[in-house]
Amino acid sequence: MCSLFRTQDPASYAAETRAIRLHGHATSIRLESAFWGILEEIALKEQMSVARFIGVLHDEVLGSDGEIANLASFLRVTCTHYLRNQDLHAQQVAARLQREAAEKVAVVA
């Protein structure tokens, strides 16, 4: 087997619980440290905190699908999806930020 996998730092797969607020309700999410790191990377690119990113993502999924059966699993798959589609994510973030900047200019004018 590849040493890349067996030589991982055990801290990367240690479970970590973080408290966040969703719609004013306190909840906690337990994920492996590696996933928290990826969520931090995504949130940074989205220009928001991890808690805010999770809240926005949660609201968007509820709006389109009506429910999230397992939020922790959804977040893990979100991380995997991000890793496989980083170029597309970068394009979508750039387009959104450009639209938001144009809207601000239009409001000021």
Domain containing residue 25:
12-108
Query: Over its length of 109 residues, how does the chain's per-residue pLDDT go in tens digits?
Result: 688 888 999 999 999 999 999 888 899 999 999 999 999 999 999 999 999 999 999 999 999 998 899 999 999 999 999 999 999 999 999 999 999 999 988 888 7
Contact call for residues 35 and 76 (beta carbons, < 8 A): yes
Is 0.85 surpassed by the pTM of this model? yes
Which own/partner contact pairs does 71-77 have at CB distance under 8 Å and 24+ positions apart?
A: 71/29, 72/29, 72/30, 72/31, 75/29, 75/31, 75/35, 75/39, 76/31, 76/35
CATH number assigned to the domain comprising residue 92: 1.10.3990.20
The predicted structure's pLDDT at residue 1:
67
Overall domain count for the chain: 1
**Domain for residue 102, yes or no?**
yes
The predicted structure's pLDDT at residue 46:
94
**Domain for residue 6, yes or no?**
no
**Domain for residue 3, yes or no?**
no
The predicted structure's pLDDT at residue 43:
97
